[in-house]
Structure 1
Amino acid sequence: MSSSVFDAYERYRGPEFRRVLAAARRSLERNGGEITGSIGLANPTTDERNAIIGITGAYRSADVRRISLPLAELDQNVRNVTGTSLRVLIERIGPPLRFRADERSVLEQAREKLLSEGEASPLHTDHPWYKEWLTGLASDGTLTGLINKQNTRLFSQAIRVLEYLCTRPSGSPPVMLPALADATTGDTKALNPGQSSLPSIVLRALATARRIPLPTGAEARRELWDAFDVIVDDLASRVLVLNLPATGRGLGEWLTGAARYATPFHITLHQLVTLPITVDLPLVYVCENPAVLRRAAGELGTGSPPLICAEGRPSTAFHRLARLIVNGGGRLLYHGDFDWPGIDMTNQLIARYGAEPWRMGAEDYLDGLRTDEDHVALAGKARSTSWDPSLSTAMQEHQRAVYEEGVADALLAEWGEPHGRHGDRHGDR
């Protein structure tokens, strides 16, 4: 490029042309490079107004709020000064023009290619939830985002993970998350949170298959993986129990021994997976607070009924043990906090395991109000209490929480009765 042409281009690099050329770029990209229509400049500076007067030859007063400039006149001005077109000038200054229509066409082709890949999976024929998942990825911009970030391989990997999980032979042992990642992507860390969007895409499919919302917390994600026999962290997930004898090599022996001495025992998910047990108990109580279980161990000893503890939020290990108990014919009787998260947990355990609320009625709540001195205000969204609708009404009326440890005396008093009477009074009482 000659120095005279270079100097001519430099003229348009000044601040008085910056917004003019930016508006011209947007018009060209929108219209496939065609010189058509006008561009507008709001609240022009003095230098911008003078530059446009110089291009059009038409005077604009100093108090003008908006100036229109026909693109053809700007193009002609550029040709007169530089000998090249407006389009060439803009690309010389950079970056290159991006024509939206062409990009949309390329994007649509890429989306169709991904959808075709998804529809080619045998899961598309065999599982309605898979179709729902695929449609959701296409409609909410997930596929577009993968294309724009050049991460479409994540979609292919997600399909391989789902095919692996859904086509495993019945009765296959659980698989560790790193082993699953290695088998489907070649990278043992590919399904770890934070590595990429791959774990979220896969979990979204698994949540769709289970007809539940996409989990947000770490424990909820571990539980969803576990529902498909994928173990995320089998040592961190654990459940606290008391007087819960079981049969089975190793873990069953330890639990039976712990029950003989009324020793609280933490069971890890690793133990439940690697040392299978059978729990043959007609009735198991569930409490929310470990302090309650600790008091039962210390004050009732072997006279306490079998207990498992949710420890605030049920873990994956808790859910696996609860399923074992129910599948073995046992009943779960649950007591928790009289606050909205505690009521929500009660509803979840009823829905999942047919658990029966125990001492979780309106009368129990009102008794707790009379003895509880904490006076903590209720927080969060009110929940229904189908087993005793008057409970929800009473809680909304009094707007106070009653925590389980505050009513532990009443729980232990009933647990301390002869074993034959355990469970005779549940539901409202």
Structure 2
Amino acid sequence: MTGSAEAYERYRAPEFRRLLAAARRSLERNGGEIKGSIGLTNPTTAERNAIIGITGTYRSADVRRITVPLSALEQSVRNVTAMSLRDVLERIGPELRFRADERTALDQARQTIRAEGEASPLHAEHSWYRQWLAGLASDGTITGLINKKDTHFFSQAVRVLEHLYNQPSDAPPIMLPALADATTGDTKALNPGRGSLPTLVLRALAMARGIPLESGAEARRELWDAFDVIVDDLASRVLVLNLPAAGQGLGQWLTDAARYGTPFHVTLHQLITLPITVDLPTVYVCENPAVLRRAAGELGAGSPPLICAEGRPSTAFHRLARLIVEAGGTLRYHGDFDWPGIDMTNQLRARYQAEPWRMTAADYLGGVRADSDHAQLSGKRQDTCWEPELAEAMERENRAVYEEAVTDILLADWSYESQGRSSEA
């Protein structure tokens, strides 16, 4: 029976289970070398008899621990099966894992990935990228990718980020499937649930924006939108009021809506497929749709041109804003007096040279005095370069003034402006 398949099957018996488990641990710890001894504590009668058979040495029934030289077990196994102890252990399964070799291979794989990440031009140009790379290394993400044999997702993530940051500032928005195809060859690679790639990229983009990575489809869409990546060109839209435009289809619809003072939702799909030009000297921008709704209800066709960011500007918003500014128009922005609202003001100033409107320290303090029931400010303090006193007042008062609370003042200004236009006409 020596060397036959039936011979090594005997080592599957219960009396060998703990002994071979100890042998496996020793071999894995020592890189497969047969050295040292293994032992069993409180052996059963069957285990004691098996070890007596292996060593040829009698052990009394009251023995508490039996030690077996690994070389003796190796020789016994060879005598019975004509196979090495390692071969028998791997036949029984699973394959041996040599910890030291695995650690070395893992360290080398980590170094390879870090080197690949550091070779990207983004590493020298952007602190957020360096922070992203360091985070992946420190929190076990890179190790997880290696263990799952998913390191190609990291390479693809770097390519996606490079593609986004190598785009010229005036590049048109890109559809998510087109971005995925251009960087991975798979149009669905950046869809949720397609491995680790979408999360890796979105984690980096959130870091670049200085915001936490939130869960949920809406948060993902808004984050992609912030980088002019279109998840759904029908879902991305911007709310407008009294914004006449030139152009067939959409331009005609906007002009007709303005004639009646009717709010109009413009989708990104419409802006792409039905090009328009907007020739207006001034367009007001508000943050909250409730403000636009009141302007439509109380001023109607007399309201000045108005577009709404609806909390966070969408890709459709940015595309329309760019059209207005490129045609020589000026955006005048009003938003919430809280730190996210100030951050949005700064972003619109930097991107479109938008003018803060009714966003002074006096306006803020007037809002605080008008209503004592205000939420406390939260989030990171933002600078108000157009009027440093505003940030100082906000920090001192530590109260948020939301746009809806000062809508009466905004409408009064717009009404006065409307009367001025009427008298000129």
Fold in common (TM above 0.5): yes
Q: In structure 2, do the counterparts of structure 1 residues 8 and 385 end up closer, same or farther at CA, with 3 Å as the change threshold?
A: closer
Deviating more after overlay: 363-372 vs 162-171: 162-171
Aligned to 2:194: 195
After superposition, give the CA deviation of every residue in 1:379-414 in whole Å (9 maximum; x if it has no partner): 632523423123322342xxx443322221122112
| 1:228-377 → structure 2 map (5 Å cutoff) | 230-372=229-371, 375-377=373-375
d(CA) in 2 for partners of 1:169 and 1:360? Answer: 31
Aligned to 1:390: 392
After superposition, give the CA deviation of every residue in 1:111-142 in whole Å (9 maximum; x if it has no partner): 788899999xxx96899669996993995666
Q: In structure 2, do the counterparts of structure 1 residues 243 and 301 end up closer, same or farther at CA, with 3 Å as the change threshold?
A: same
Aligned to 2:378: 380
d(CA) in 1 for partners of 2:419 and 2:291? Answer: 21
Aligned to 2:133: 136
After superposition, give the CA deviation of every residue in 1:355-375 in whole Å (9 maximum; x if it has no partner): 3333334443343334337x3
Is 1:218 the counterpart of 2:217 in the alignment?
A: no
Q: In structure 2, do the counterparts of structure 1 residues 412 and 39 end up closer, same or farther at CA, with 3 Å as the change threshold?
A: farther
Give the gaps of 5 or more residues in structure 1.
423-429
Contact 1:9 1:89 (8 Å CA) reproduced: no
d(CA) in 2 for partners of 1:170 and 1:403? Answer: 32
Q: In structure 2, do the counterparts of structure 1 residues 207 and 286 end up closer, same or farther at CA, with 3 Å as the change threshold?
A: same
d(CA) in 1 for partners of 2:378 and 2:39? Answer: 51
Q: In structure 2, do the counterparts of structure 1 residues 327 and 22 end up closer, same or farther at CA, with 3 Å as the change threshold?
A: farther
- Give 1:233 deviation, angstroms: 0.8
Aligned-partner residue type, residue 416 of structure 1: S
Contact 2:230 2:315 (8 Å CA) reproduced: no
Contact 2:22 2:38 (8 Å CA) reproduced: yes
Contact 1:75 1:86 (8 Å CA) reproduced: no
Aligned-partner residue type, residue 259 of structure 1: A
After superposition, give the CA deviation of every residue in 1:330-373 in whole Å (9 maximum; x if it has no partner): 33332223344334433433443333333334443343334337
Contact 1:23 1:40 (8 Å CA) reproduced: yes
Q: In structure 2, do the counterparts of structure 1 residues 161 and 336 end up closer, same or farther at CA, with 3 Å as the change threshold?
A: closer
Deviating more after overlay: 232-241 vs 164-173: 164-173
Query: Secondary structure of the residue that 2:416 maps to in structure 1?
Result: coil
Aligned to 1:427: none
Deviating more after overlay: 293-302 vs 323-332: 323-332
Contact 1:219 1:315 (8 Å CA) reproduced: no
d(CA) in 2 for partners of 1:376 and 1:131? Answer: 36
Alignment length (residue pairs) = 398
Contact 1:244 1:306 (8 Å CA) reproduced: yes
TM-score (structure 2 length as normaliser): 0.71
Aligned to 1:10: 13
| 1:116-127 → structure 2 map (5 Å cutoff) | none
- Give 1:33 deviation, angstroms: 1.0
Q: Identity rate of aligned residues, in percent?
A: 60
After superposition, give the CA deviation of every residue in 1:171-219 in whole Å (9 maximum; x if it has no partner): 88655333454566554323222222233445567789x7867865223
| 1:19-38 → structure 2 map (5 Å cutoff) | 22=21, 24-36=23-35
Deviating more after overlay: 212-221 vs 292-301: 212-221
Contact 1:242 1:259 (8 Å CA) reproduced: yes
- Give 1:98 deviation, angstroms: 1.4
| 1:162-173 → structure 2 map (5 Å cutoff) | none
After superposition, give the CA deviation of every residue in 1:141-191 in whole Å (9 maximum; x if it has no partner): 666544432345545656776787789999886553334545665543232
- Give 1:51 deviation, angstroms: 7.2
Deviating more after overlay: 234-243 vs 131-140: 131-140
d(CA) in 2 for partners of 1:205 and 1:339? Answer: 26
Q: In structure 2, do the counterparts of structure 1 residues 416 and 124 end up closer, same or farther at CA, with 3 Å as the change threshold?
A: same
Contact 1:9 1:82 (8 Å CA) reproduced: no
After superposition, give the CA deviation of every residue in 1:207-259 in whole Å (9 maximum; x if it has no partner): 89x78678652233331452xxx432111011111122233333233223322
Contact 1:361 1:391 (8 Å CA) reproduced: no
Aligned-partner residue type, residue 10 of structure 1: A
d(CA) in 2 for partners of 1:376 and 1:288? Answer: 18
d(CA) in 2 for partners of 1:405 and 1:331? Answer: 23
Give the gaps of 5 or more residues in structure 2.
none
Query: Secondary structure of the residue that 2:27 maps to in structure 1?
Result: helix
Aligned-partner residue type, residue 93 of structure 2: G
Contact 2:286 2:333 (8 Å CA) reproduced: yes
Contact 2:286 2:309 (8 Å CA) reproduced: yes
d(CA) in 2 for partners of 1:132 and 1:369? Answer: 36
Q: In structure 2, do the counterparts of structure 1 residues 58 and 136 end up closer, same or farther at CA, with 3 Å as the change threshold?
A: farther
d(CA) in 2 for partners of 1:263 and 1:245? Answer: 11
d(CA) in 2 for partners of 1:295 and 1:262? Answer: 11
